[in-house]
Amino acid sequence: MDRDRAPLVAARLTSTFRNLPILVPLVFLGVFVVWPLVAVLERSLVGVDLDRVVEVLTRSSTRGIVWFTFWQALVSTALTLLVGLPIAHALARYRFGGRSVIRSIAVVPFVLPTVVVAAAFNSLIGQVGSSFGQLDGQRSLLAILGAHVFFNVAVIIRVVGGFWQGMDSSLEEAARVLGAKPIAAFVRVTLPRLAPVILGASLLVFLFSFTSFGVILILGGPRRATVETEIYRYAISRGELDVAALLALIQLVIVIGLATASARFQRSYAKATTARSKPNPVSVDTAVRRLHLSLILILVIVVIGLPLGSLIQRSLQVGDGYGLSNYTNLADPVSLLPTTSILALWTSLKFAFMAAVVASLVGLVAAFGIVRGGRMGRMVEAASLVPLGISAVTLGLGYLLAFTVFDFRRSIWLVPLAHAVMGLPFVLASVVPAMRSIDDRLRQVAATLGASPSRVRFVVVWPLVRKPLMTGAGFAAAISMGEFGATSFVSRGKSSFTAPLAIFRLLSQPGELIRGQAIALSVIVGLMVAIIAAVLERQRGEGVQIL
C-alpha cells in the first residue's frame, strides 16, 4: 500500500513545485491589490450611515465635482487628439532626419511625474512668483487641460502612430489617383481603418485624465476638484474615511467600465495589426510636405518643449537674475518638510531601487508561471494587469484601511511595495513575450546534453530575458520615482518622505525661495526619469515599449 502511495505523493509534490511560480504573483497581488480593494468595498458598503451617504451624494458641490471630472477628461481627450493625430501622421508617413529623436522626446512627458508636469504648467501659465492656488479660475483650467495634453499626447503618437506607420497606404493612394482630394481620401479610406485604434487610444487618454490626481491637486486647488482629489481630501484632510471609500467605490466602477471598453478596442487593434504591411514612409521632397513638417515640428516645440523650457528657466531664476541658488538651497532644512529636499530625493532613489527589485523578482517568477501554467497562467497574466486600471488614490486609500494588522502602515517597506505593484505589469509585459519567444528546441538540446532544469534556465533562458527584465525594472524605477497618489496616503514621517511629496508641499506655500526649490527639485526628478526613459527607448524591440 505504501509502495503504491509513494508515486502519488511524488506526483503531488511535483505538481506543487510546478505551480509555485503561479502562487508567488497570486499571493503578491492578493495582499497588495485584492485585500486593499476589499477594504475599500467593506468600508463603503458595510455599516455606513445611509442618510450621510445620500446627503453627500446629493450635494450640489458633489454633483459639480463629478460633472467637472467628466467634462475636463472629455475636453482633455479631444484636445489631445487634435494635437496628437497630426504629429502621429508626420512621424508615420514622413521619412526625415531626427524622426527617431522626436519620437523619443514625445514619450518623455508620459513618464514624467505628475507633480513635475503640474509644476511646469504652473510656471508656464502662472505669473512669475505666484504660488499654489493663486491661479485664477480660467488660468487654472487652461493649465489643467494643457498639462493633460502634454502628459497624454504620447499615447496618441505611439499607439495610433505606430499602427498608422505600418498600415498599407496603397488604398489611399488609389483613391487619390481616382480623383479624390487628400482630405476626402483620408476621411473615406484611412480614417475608417484607424477608427478602432483611435477609439482605444482615446479611451486610455480619457481614463488617465479622469483619474488625474497630482495635476488637478496642484493646478486646480479646491476650486477645480475632481472625484480623485475629493477622495484625498475626505481621507487625509477631513478624516471622513467612509465618504472617501464611497467615492472611491464609485470611481472604481467607472474606471472598470472604461478599462473594459478600452480592452475591447485593444483586441480590435490587435486583430487589425495582423493585416498591416511593412512601413513605407515617404521623403519630404516637396514644398508642401516641407511646410507641413515644419508646422508639425513647431507644434511639438510648443506642446512639449515650451513647458519643459519654462520649468528649467524658472528653476534658474533668482530674483531679477539667474543662478543656481534654487538647487543649492535643496540641502537646507525647510520647516514645511520633515526632512530636506535632497534627503527626500535620496529616499525616492532608494524606493525606486527597492520597487524595481521587488517587481523584477515577482515578475520573473510570475513570467515562468504564466508561460508554463496553461489556463492558470493566463488568469495570472490577466490579474497582473489589474493595477493598471486602478486609481493610485483608491489603492492608497485601500492600504490605509487594510494594513492596520501589525501596524504595517508604519513600515518603511509599504511605499516601495506599493510602487512595485504599479511596476509589476511593465515587468511582465517585457519578460513574458521574451520567454514565449524562446525556442523549446534550445531547452531540449540543453537537457539532452545533460543539463539540469535549473542549469537550462541559467544557460538558455536567462541570457534571452536579461535585457527585457532590465527594461521592465527600469520602468518600475521610473514609475516609483514619480508616484504621488498612493504615496500621499501611506507615507509616514521623514523615513518615507519622497521627492514628489516634497514638491507638492513646497508648491502649496507662497514664497519665491520655497517655490524656486520646488521647481528645482522638479527639474532634477524629471531629468532622472527622462534619462531612464531615453535609455529604455534605445532598447525598443528588445523589451517592452513605453506604449
Residue 429 has pLDDT above 50, yes or no: yes
Residue 497 CB burial class (10 angstroms; 0-12, 13-18, ≥19): buried
pLDDT in tens, 346-382: 999 999 999 999 999 998 888 877 777 667 767 777 7
* 3 state SS of 161: helix
Cell 511560480 sits at which residue? 21
Task: State how far the Cα of 349 lies from the Cα of 347, in Å rounded to an integer.
Answer: 5
Of all residues in the chain, what percent carry a pLDDT higher than 70? 77
**pLDDT tens digit string along 440-491?**
665 555 566 565 566 656 655 667 677 888 888 888 898 898 888 888 888 8
Q: Which CATH superfamily is domain 20-35+324-547 in?
A: MetI-like (1.10.3720.10)
Section 331-341 average pLDDT: 87
**Which of 86-90, 273-277, 347-351, 502-506 is the least confident region?**
273-277
11, burial (CB in 10 Å: exposed 0-12, middle 13-18, buried 19+): exposed
Contact 173, 245 (CB under 8 A): no
Separation between Cα atoms, residue 484 and residue 497, nearest integer Å: 11
Q: What would the mean pLDDT of 430-435 be, rounded to a whole number?
A: 78
Average pLDDT, stretch 325-336? 87
Percent of the chain with pLDDT over 90: 8
C-alpha to C-alpha distance for 199 and 262, rounded to whole angstroms: 8
Residue type, 469: L
Work out the average pLDDT over 163-191: 72
Q: What is the largest CA-CA distance in the chain?
A: 92
377 alpha carbon, distance to own chain's centre? 24
Mean pLDDT of 215-228: 83
One-letter identity of residue 319: G
pLDDT for the residue 355: 94
Query: Angle 298-301-303 (CA atoms, 0-180°, nearest 5)?
Result: 105
61 or 13, which is more confident: 61
SS3 318: strand
The amino acid that residue 478 corresponds to is A
Q: What local confidence, expressed as pLDDT, does residue 349 receive?
A: 93
Cα(512)–Cα(507) distance, integer angstroms = 10
Has residue 421 got a pLDDT over 50? yes
What 8-state DSSP symbol labels residue 102?
A: H
Give 535's pLDDT tier (boundaries 50, 70, 90). confident
Cα separation, 246 vs 48, whole angstroms: 9
Nearest alpha carbon to residue 72 among 141, 8, 24, 17: 141
Residues 109 and 304: beta-carbon distance below 8 Å: yes
Residue 386 has pLDDT above 80, yes or no: no
State the chain's mean pLDDT as an integer.
Answer: 77
Which is higher by pLDDT, 513 or 329? 329
60-105 pLDDT tens trace: 777 888 889 999 999 999 999 999 988 888 888 787 777 777 777 7
What is the pLDDT averaged over residues 33-38?
86
> What is the C-alpha separation between 299 and 84, in angstroms, rounded?
10
Please state which of the ranges 53-57, 266-270, 506-510 shows the lowest mean pLDDT: 266-270
Give the per-residue pLDDT at 148: 93
pTM, two decimals, is 0.79
**Comparing C-alpha atoms, which of 415, 388, 547, 404 is closest to residue 484?**
415
DSSP string, 484-502: -TTHHHH--SGGG--HHHH
Q: How far apart are CA 300 and CA 315, in angstroms?
A: 22
> Count of residues for the chain?
547
Angle between helices 462-482 and 99-111 (to 10 degrees): 60
Q: Is the pLDDT of residue 406 over 70?
A: no
pLDDT score at 441: 62
Per-residue pLDDT of 113-142, as tens digits, reads 888 888 888 777 754 344 444 555 577 888
Q: Are 529 and 546 in contact (CB under 8 A)?
A: no
Domain with CATH 1.10.3720.10 in the chain: 20-35+324-547, 69-224+259-322
Question: Comparing C-alpha atoms, which of 311, 342, 306 is closest to residue 83?
Answer: 306
Fold of 69-224+259-322: MetI-like fold (1.10.3720)
